[in-house]
């Protein structure tokens, strides 16, 4: 079944949970599509997972377009959302609409996601007015890392918890069709999910959300260092990959790879003609030594 804004909204009405993962390349996109994941996010987390930056701030619209277009080629039924990177929408409503348009036209996304609550409602209104569906993102918004003073759970005190609830209502009212809740205490996220008519997608926000999103390298166990509390390793692909790389390295050095089954044959006469045409004596001596 093709996932669209309509089917995703209907899933909330029917009480069916929405699965979403980040993705940044064609091969992984094909696998996620085959697995039946409902939606893919080209997160600006690609700055960290794919480009090695320490946070998401340096990511550009062109970076997102590059990865989004690659992923789009692997999808038929999975809904594709592109993140609006830092400073692609904050400075003006006009920037927001133009950059959202590029993500749709050049990245082939079906919706855009932007961080912030009441403060970005003008942008959400303008983008939806251009018929581009918007996913809002509230709670911990990594583009505000310098203002927050680090990656911390949000909404633990009364003032901030009420602000997150109000942000959720504001983005719905402004026209967002879905909202991501990041690092929000479970009870607050559950309350927000009940209050809103649009689906909530949680990451570190508990099971009361209408759907879940994870960064795929996190859920596949591809990072050996820090594991955030909200991440579950559904596989240990990092270890598998490392073992495969080590085995390859050993076999290349031991000359056991490639073996006969991996090689291409050539007709004897063709090879003889090549040798006859080759006037390098060095090669001939080497060849004769090897064939004795």
Residues in contact with ligand KIV by CB under 6 A are 22, 41, 43-45, 83, 137, 180, 182, 203, 213, 215
- Specify the residue, 234 or 283, whose C-beta has the smaller distance to ligand KIV: 234
Is 214 within 8 Å of 171 (Cβ atoms)? no
- Specify the residue, 48 or 196, whose C-beta has the smaller distance to ligand KIV: 48
Q: What residues does 114 pair with on adjacent strands?
A: 136
Tokens, residue 155: 């909404």
Catalytic site residue 172?
A: no
Q: How far apart are CA 225 and CA 243, in angstroms?
A: 17
For residue 278, the minimal CB distance to ligand KIV (Å) is 55
For residue 73, the minimal CB distance to ligand KIV (Å) is 20
- Specify the residue, 172 or 182, whose C-beta has the smaller distance to ligand KIV: 182
Q: Of 115, 166, 182, 239, which is the active-site residue?
A: 182
For residue 280, the minimal CB distance to ligand KIV (Å) is 55
* Own/partner pairs, 64-67, CB within 8 angstroms, 24+ separation: 64/103, 64/107, 65/102, 65/103, 65/106, 65/107, 67/24, 67/25, 67/42
Q: How far apart are CA 109 and CA 71, in angstroms?
A: 9
For residue 35, the minimal CB distance to ligand KIV (Å) is 18
**Cα 87 from chain centre:** 19
Q: How far apart are CA 193 and CA 178, in angstroms?
A: 11
- Specify the residue, 45 or 110, whose C-beta has the smaller distance to ligand KIV: 45
* Residues with a known catalytic role: 182
């Amino acid at each position: 079944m093709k996932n669209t804004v309509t089917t995703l909204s209907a899933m909330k009405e029917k009480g069916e949970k929405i699965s979403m993962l980040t993705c940044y390349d064609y091969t992984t996109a094909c696998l996620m599509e085959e697995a039946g994941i409902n939606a893919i996010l080209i997160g600006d987390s690609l700055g960290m997972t794919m480009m090695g930056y320490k946070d998401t701030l340096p990511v550009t619209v062109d970076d997102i377009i590059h990865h989004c277009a690659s992923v789009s080629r692997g999808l038929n039924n999975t809904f594709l959302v592109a993140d609006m990177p830092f400073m692609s929408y904050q400075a003006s409503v006009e920037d927001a609409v133009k950059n959202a348009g590029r993500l749709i036209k050049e990245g082939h996304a079906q919706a855009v996601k932007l961080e912030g609550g009441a403060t970005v409602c003008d942008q959400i209104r303008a983008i939806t007015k251009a018929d581009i569906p918007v996913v809002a993102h509230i709670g911990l918004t990594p583009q505000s890392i310098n203002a927050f003073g680090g990656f911390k759970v949000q909404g633990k005190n009364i003032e901030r918890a009420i602000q997150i609830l109000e942000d959720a209502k504001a983005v719905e009212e402004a026209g967002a069709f879905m909202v991501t809740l990041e690092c929000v205490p479970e009870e607050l996220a559950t309350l927000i999910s009940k209050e809103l008519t649009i689906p909530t997608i949680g990451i570190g926000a508990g099971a009361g959300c209408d759907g879940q999103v994870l960064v795929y390298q996190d859920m596949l166990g591809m990072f050996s260092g820090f594991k955030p509390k909200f991440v579950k390793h559904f596989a240990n692909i990092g270890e598998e990959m490392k073992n495969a790389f080590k085995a390859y390295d050993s076999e290349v050095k031991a000359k056991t790879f490639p073996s006969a089954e991996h090689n291409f044959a050539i007709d004897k006469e063709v090879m003889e003609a090549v040798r006859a045409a080759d006037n390098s004596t060095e090669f001939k001596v080497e060849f004769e030594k090897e064939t004795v």
